[in-house]
Chain A
Amino acid sequence: MRRAVIAFTAFLGGLIILLSAGAANAWAEGEGLRGTLTFQGQPVNGVKITVTTESGAPVGEATSDAKGAWEVPVPATGKYTVKLDASTLPPNAAVRGGNLTRTPSVFEGNVSTVLFALVAADGAAQPGEEPEASAESRWWTRVAQLTFEGFNLGLIIALAAMGLSLIFGTTGLTNFAHGELVTLGAVFTFFFSSVVGLPVILAGVVAVVMGGAFGYLQDRYFWGVLRGRGTGLIGMMIISIGVALFLRYAILFFFGPQSLPYNEYAGQPGIDVGPITAAPKNFIAMGIELTVLIVAGLALLKTRTGKAARAVADNPALAASSGINVDRVIRIIWTAGGAVAALAGVMLGLSQNVQYQMGQDMLLLIFAGVTLGGLGTAFGALVGALVVGLFIQLSTLWVPPELKSLGALAVLIIVLLLRPQGILGRRERIG
């Protein structure tokens, strides 16, 4: 009970920090404004939209196309004024509330969506309580949507976090190169689909296999050897930074600085499920992630190797003396950890563009998840990662999206202060 209270307090504390910080991190390049105009379920064609800066300098114009969509790229982040030309609307349509201007903020790398809800022209005099009710229901729709997105992100973090946590538990290595294993998954998928020509699904499978092989080779020829030499834990941690730099720039060397989507499933249209709108790929990806996490969890609980892995994570010396082949267990964990991290990258590449820094950007969130759950515990990493994912997305209800990661990092610090062993961790000396 006490642990739950403390964990919850930390969570609340993070929320408070977020609220007081009051302000957004996006991953993609290129800022802009866009929207879709529909009237009575039909797209509205030919409506003129004008974008100016806050001070009134013109930025651009757009006219909605056959699908009702318009988009204006903007040169920099900041506040813009978007005006809809009412004379270009269909004669029987009007903007709800009658306000033809919007002043959205554009954040780094974000394309902001601007809403103009169109209603029948005589509908401007609707009953007064209607907009209020809809405002509240819109808020709850947003909560539902963000919760869904939070689970989506949380599951990806969980995949990466599980491997990181088990590697830490069994070898004591704080692996700063784990983010690059995630990037590799996405980059391999991109390579095998766009360059080699396999379907994305098959390319993803190949990427996961290669991630596993890379994990195995890393332990077989690198980390295992270092452990054999008796390299200190801090030494290994700094070495992992060297590995991270090396891999990151090797990826940049081969892949280049651009940010590219997979050649399939990229612009999948969303479907509505209850209050949530999401592309079908997200549901399938989440299904796969959940399945993998459950299978991995069951393997840890039920199989001999899984039990051995938990024993090694608990106390390597004791595990070795009770006849467990510690090196073999560690190698299996590295292989599985590499494969699951690559899977996380494959899935991350579905929801954002492939780019050489994508894993690095996620690394601290992975650390946050692992620490929140309890370093070295597999299930703790799962719980912690989900909490971090949810926290990041739900925090955008109050803070701009560019600062959403900031909250997760603040939580990481607060957790380490109040309950350093994490939600599911065991108390030990960390000071």
Chain B
Amino acid sequence: MDWLTILVTTVEAAVGVETVVYALAALGVNIQFGYSGLLNFGQAAFLGVAGYGLAVIVSTFGLPFWLGIVVGLASVVVFAFLLGVPTLKLRADYLAIVTIAAAEIVRLIFRSVAFKDVFGGSDGRRAFSGTFYDMNPFPPGQYGIGPFGFSERVLWVLVLGWFLVGISCLAIYLLMKSPWGRVLKAIREDEDAVRSLGKNVFSYKMQALILGGVVGCFGGFVYALAFASVQPDVFGTELTFYAYTIVILGGAARVFGPVLGASIFWVLLVLVGNTLSEAVSAGYITFMTTTQVGPVRFMLVGLGLILLLVFRPQGIFGDKREIALDAR
């Protein structure tokens, strides 16, 4: 058993690229589900639209990087708007089905042969992150303390990623303290009451959907740049489901809930995965093979989601009164 490797990968997972991507996705879900009670199950599509917006502009059309970022952001806002106009009047469970269907439509289009020239089919797009890494202020090398460390490329992604997480958290904190945020929470608690006070509920929901989408889409950018590629199947429904697991784990309607949730989620996932595969290859566990470790990790995610909702729906840091789990 190589305990040092397990320790290093686990600690690195606490702040790693996946954690940043999922934290941003979950922060977006938290605005929609945690604060506003909107069950948007299409979060993966927001990340996908942003990642592909950047990738297509730079690699397919050969246009500048910053235009790619702008187009990615603009496409996310347009997508949120298109998704919201027809669906935000629906009841929670219907909204969930429609948004998940919309996200699948987006994914199927990304991977289709018909649009292969634009989106690159199931192989996706690559070769668009050059400008980003050219801006890297860190000279080449390994940065870290002792055995823990990242290369200059990963460090650059992480610094920017955590900066985005920080900015998003600050924005969410300020917004939710404002009168605007209180209206959102009121919509989550009782939509009709808010309407009777003369608030335009639809407009507030739309703003929450767009804002959540934009925060989530930073995760799409970070993913695309960190791995220097986008593939359609990365943005499948499971990304959304894991983001929900993270929100519920950390605590819905808490500013830092999703961030801590993402860290804990990935630490556990990496720890369990690496410990199991080390134990399997060292011969301590004989009833499964190393390829079967992957499924076990995600079985545990499913089990964890069930147990959380049954026994502690407010998650680790949440408040039970603030979580919208009843259909109204």
Q: Is A420 interfacial (CB 8 A cutoff)?
A: yes
> A396 at the A/B interface (Cβ < 8 Å)?
no
| Beta-carbon contact of A403 and B302 below 8 Å | no
* B-chain residues with CB within 8 Å of residue A244 when the two chains form the complex: 302
Q: How far is the CA of A90 from the CA of B310 in the complex (A)?
A: 72
Contact B327 A242 (CB under 8 A): no
Among B104, B303, B310, which residue has its beta carbon within 8 angstroms of that of A246? B303
Interface bits A220-238 vs B (CB < 8 Å: 1, else 0) = 0000001001011111011
Count chain A CB atoms within 10 A of each CB in B245, B304, B309 and give the residue with the most.
B309
A237 touching B96, Cβ below 8 Å: yes
Interface stretch, picked from A181-189, A274-282, A291-299, A404-412, is A404-412
Docked CA distance A106–B116 (Å) = 12
Chain B residues with Cβ under 8 A from A233's Cβ? Answer: 92-93, 325-327
| Total residues of chain B contacting the partner, CB 8 A | 55
A247 to B299, CA, bound (A): 7
Are the C-beta atoms of B324 and A234 separated by less than 8 Å? yes
Compute how far the CA of A367 lies from the CA of B96 in the bound complex, rounded to whole angstroms. Answer: 11
Interface pick from A248-256, A377-385, A386-394: A248-256
Interchain CB contact under 8 A, B310 and A231: yes
Q: Of A234, A249, A430, which contacts B295 at CB under 8 A?
A: A249
Select one of B97, B294, B310 contacting A371, CB under 8 A.
Answer: B97
Is the pair A406, B109 in contact by a Cβ cutoff of 8 Å?
yes
> B-facing mask of A390-431, CB < 8 A → 1, else 0?
000000000010110110011011001100100000000111
List, in ascending order, chain B residues with CB within 8 A of A420's CB: 90, 94
Asked if B299 contacts A430 (CB within 8 A), the reply is: no
Contact B96 A416 (CB under 8 A): no
> Contact at B121–A108, with CB atoms within 8 Å?
yes
A413 in complex: contacting residue of B101, B123, B244, B309, CB < 8 Å = B101
- A242, A400, A409, A430: the one within 8 Å of B113 (CB): A400
The A-contacting residues of B in range 86-134, CB under 8 angstroms, are: 86-87, 89-94, 96-98, 100-102, 104-105, 108-109, 111-116, 121-123
Query: In the bound complex, do residue A107 and residue B113 qualify as a contact, i.e. CB atoms below 8 Å apart?
Result: yes
- Of the stretches A20-28, A63-71, A147-155, A321-329, the one at the interface is A20-28
Q: In the bound complex, do residue B113 and residue A364 qualify as a contact, i.e. CB atoms below 8 Å apart?
A: no
For A232, the chain B residues whose CB sits under 8 A away are 325-327
Query: Residue of B at shortest CB range from A255?
Result: B295
Interchain CA distance A240-B125 in the complex, whole Å: 34
Pick the residue among A106, A246, A367 that contacts B101 (CB under 8 A): A367
**Chain B residues closer than 8 Å to A429, beta-carbon distance:** 91
Count contacts on A: residues with CB < 8 A to the other chain.
56
Q: Which partner residue on chain A sits nearest B299 by CB separation?
A: A249
**Known: A241-B244, A249-B295, A253-B292. Is A226-B325 also a contact (CB below 8 A)?**
no
Q: How far is the CA of A244 from the CA of B248 in the complex (A)?
A: 17
| Pick from B98, B102, B113: contact of A78, CB under 8 Å | B113
Residues of chain A touching chain B, judged by Cβ–Cβ distance below 8 Å, are 21-25, 76-78, 105-108, 172, 174, 226, 229, 231-235, 237-239, 241-250, 252-253, 256, 364, 367-368, 371, 400, 402-403, 405-406, 409-410, 412-413, 416-417, 420, 429-431
28 interchain pairs, CB-CB under 8 A = A23-B112, A24-B114, A76-B123, A77-B116, A77-B121, A78-B113, A229-B310, A231-B310, A233-B327, A234-B325, A234-B326, A235-B309, A241-B244, A241-B305, A242-B301, A245-B305, A246-B303, A246-B306, A249-B296, A253-B288, A253-B295, A368-B101, A402-B114, A403-B109, A405-B108, A413-B86, A416-B86, A430-B94
The 6 A-B residue pairs with the shortest CB-CB distance in the complex, in nearest-first order: A23-B114, A246-B302, A245-B302, A242-B305, A232-B326, A235-B325
Known: A233-B327, A246-B306. 19 other contacts (CB 8 A): A77-B116, A107-B113, A108-B113, A174-B97, A231-B325, A232-B327, A233-B92, A233-B325, A234-B93, A234-B327, A235-B309, A241-B244, A246-B303, A249-B297, A403-B112, A406-B109, A412-B97, A413-B101, A416-B94
Residues of B within 8 A of A (CB): 39, 86-87, 89-94, 96-98, 100-102, 104-105, 108-109, 111-116, 121-123, 238, 241, 244-245, 248, 288, 291-292, 294-299, 301-306, 309-310, 313, 324-327
